[in-house]
Amino acid sequence: MTTLKNSKGFWLSIVLALIFFGIMQFSISSGMLNPFYINTLMFIGINIMLATSLHLIIGITGQFSIGHAGFLAVGAYASAVMTMKLELPFIIAILAGGIIAAAAGMVIGIPSLRLKGDYLAIATLGFGEIVRIVLLNIEYVGGASGMQVSHLTTWPWVFACVMITVIVIRNFTNSTHGRACISVREDETAADAMGINTTYYKVAAFVIGAFFAGVAGSLYAHNFYIIQPSNFGFLKSFDILIFVVLGGLGSLSGSVLAAILLTIVTTFLQDYPETRMIIYSLVLILMMIFRPQGLMGTREISTLFTHKKTKGGKKDGSHNTVA
Amino acid sequence: MELIQQLVNGISLGSIYALIALGYTMVYGIVKLINFAHGDVFMVGSFVGFYAITVMDLSFISALLISMFTCAIFGVLIERIAYKPLRNATRIAALITAIGVSLLIENGLIYIRGAQPEAYPNNVLPMDKLDIFGVSISSQSILILSVSIILMIILQFVVHKTKIGKAMRAVSFDSEAAKLMGINVNNTISATFAIGSALAGAAGVIFGIYYIKIEPLMGVLPGLKAFVAAVLGGIGIIPGAMVGGLLLGVIEALVSAAGYSLWRDGVAFIVLILILIFLPQGLFGKNKREKV
């Protein structure tokens, strides 16, 4: 019964999303929406992809990664090389961006598995910085001055990628694999004792998250006319982290909502970057002090309408409560 | 000779890393928190020193002391306002707060005074070139090194010979047991933040004198590298932070000397990832098994 109910809601939201897509596509092609709003819309889409992909790593699997901009950068540069240097079609560039970022996710995921909590956070931060510095030193992709990229990202591309990302991550979370990932988040040792291959699931989360971050990177690169390594510093990683934290660690709809909300806030505060960052940082601090579970906690939007109880737990799976 | 000169540069830079790393390692040792805002305390210290020297026209030593004092208060304020309510929260929550505090300090300062850089006056310390066995070493690097060493000796004295140092060691060993023994844990943690932040403030002034240019985002990279230094030496271990900082400075200088100066910032992180994978307890650390 519950599966039927759930799948009904699932198909309903897909239909709603398609209607939304149609309205937007109509207003864009009829010229009702000016380029500023179209750009904001694309940004919201890209940020949703970034937020949900990081949500899979942090929110579902509990691996605190703050180097997500590294995957974004890998995807952006890989796809830009595909279209600009090798002159391949955009679809191949998007896939290549995702796959190469996923490979990077595996490269960083496997050694990082020996680390936990703070150490993992710092190692991923270091990985993000290494990616940036490596890109800075490769002449082939323009070094510090960056790389020219033609504008190929359009609303249908963004919409399709966002839909695929959200659906894949939602279905992954609700599958056996997703539950295994959640058990790793709740208590790694217990999950291990229950026969779950924790290493496998941690790497899987990293690879899938990195793949979608890479896809988002392809769209991101082709939405600008130029990409530079400085676009992918750790401030970018923190931006993505804020989406996930604000939305609630462990809530897919929460991170989507936070991505939409914060992208709009960012757009309005574009001329005042310091004000934006002050607001962001205050949100982070106050959130952690007064509502550490985020806006949605581990709940999803759909559970707000039904009266189902969901159980939340500690996110990092540790019982150490010092600090 | 070129190599020895680079080594001297590396040791000067390394002593700055070591001073910052000490704060990281002490705070981590006592509350198990990576204090991301520590690099920004270092930046604030640098600005306080700058204003003390240019506006108030003070000498190097008094600017250093003012900066250390201001940073100590600043560090305690950060701890009391942002970290204390989270003593019993998850590690991740504390880490996110630390990131938030760091962003707040940086952007708050940019908001107040703008993002433009400042230049330290170059007549604060005498600029003589000393010739030692054919290697010319600026008197500045020697002064900087000696100030760092003096501060580290004072720190060792405080940690090992005074009552508050004993309390700090006790709390970092087992804060519950320390509380039962009548140690005021909150005050001890505040004292740790004060001492660590004072050292970061001193590092800020020294950095300003040595590298001239300071700006509101200058604390980020040295802060991260100092953290690497703390991990390299074994986090929570005070002599480890000193050795780790000096070692990291020398490694960076050697990489620059080898002609890869653009890769310099990356090396610290490569060192970090290698040390985390192969020697996670650090050079001086003891390997601890995690118990369920």
pLDDT at B101: 92
The verdict on a CB contact (< 8 Å) between A278 and B111 is yes
| pLDDT (average), residues A307-315 | 45
Q: Whose CA is closest to A313, among A181, A121, A182, A170?
A: A182
Model confidence at B290: pLDDT above 70: no
Q: How confident is the model at residue A317 (pLDDT cuts 50, 70, 90)?
A: very low
Q: How many C-beta atoms lie closer than 10 Å to residue B113's C-beta?
A: 11
Q: How many C-beta atoms lie closer than 10 Å to residue B3's C-beta?
A: 11
Model confidence at B285: pLDDT above 70: yes
Model confidence at A84: pLDDT above 80: yes
Percent with pLDDT over 90 in chain A: 20
Any domain includes A310: no
The verdict on a CB contact (< 8 Å) between A284 and B107 is no
Any domain includes A138: yes
Higher pLDDT, A4 or A190: A190
Q: Whose CA is closest to A129, among A49, A51, A239, A229?
A: A229
Q: How confident is the model at residue B292 (pLDDT cuts 50, 70, 90)?
A: very low
For B96, the closest chain A residue by CA position comes to A284
Give the three-state DSSP class for A5: helix
Any domain includes A261: no
Residues in B closer than 8 angstroms to A192, CB to CB, are: none
Percent with pLDDT over 70 in chain A: 91
A148 to chain B, closest Cα gap in Å: 22
Any domain includes A258: no
**Chain A, chain B: beta-carbon pairs less than 8 Å apart:** 141
The verdict on a CB contact (< 8 Å) between A115 and B276 is yes
**Tokens linked to B126:** 């005498």
Are B158 and B164 spatial neighbours (Cβ–Cβ below 8 Å)?
yes
The verdict on a CB contact (< 8 Å) between B272 and A123 is yes
Q: How far is the C-alpha of A141 from the C-alpha of A289, rounded, in Å? A: 43
Question: How many Cα neighbours within 13 Å face the side chain of B206?
Answer: 29
Model confidence at A263: pLDDT above 50: yes
pLDDT at A312: 46
Q: List the domain range (segments joined by +) for residue A115.
A: 36-231
Looking up tokens 């991740």 gives B92
Any domain includes A101: yes
A283: Cβ–Cβ under 8 A, 6 or more apart, which residues? A242, A246, B100
The verdict on a CB contact (< 8 Å) between A278 and B88 is no
CB nearest to A129's CB, from B101, B103, B269: B269
Q: How confident is the model at residue A125 (pLDDT cuts 50, 70, 90)?
A: confident
Digit-coded pLDDT (tens) for B188-236: 999 999 999 999 999 999 899 888 889 888 888 888 889 889 888 888 8
Amino acid at B151: L
Q: How far is the C-alpha of B245 from the C-alpha of B231, rounded, in Å? A: 10
A50: CATH? 1.10.3470.10
**Tokens linked to B211:** 């590298």
Q: Whose CA is closest to A204, among A176, A170, A181?
A: A181
Looking up tokens 């609630």 gives A248
CB nearest to B94's CB, from A137, A274, A323: A323
Any domain includes A220: yes
Model confidence at B1: pLDDT above 80: no
E-state strands within chain A: 147-148, 226-227
Any domain includes A87: yes
pTM exceeds cut of 0.80? yes
Number of domains in chain A: 1
Could you report the predicted ipTM of this complex, rounded to two decimals?
A: 0.81
A175 to chain B, closest Cα gap in Å: 26
CB nearest to A285's CB, from B32, B88, B100: B100
Residues in B closer than 8 angstroms to A278, CB to CB, are: 103-104, 107-108, 111
Q: At what angle do helices A90-112 and A117-136 cross, to 10 degrees?
A: 140
pLDDT at A218: 92
Q: Would you say how long chain B is, in residues? A: 292
The verdict on a CB contact (< 8 Å) between A288 and B93 is yes
Model confidence at A322: pLDDT above 50: no
Cα Rg of chain A (Å, integer):
19
**β-strand pairing of B118-119 with A226-227:** unpaired
CB nearest to B99's CB, from A123, A284, A314: A284
Digit-coded pLDDT (tens) for B150-160: 988 899 899 88
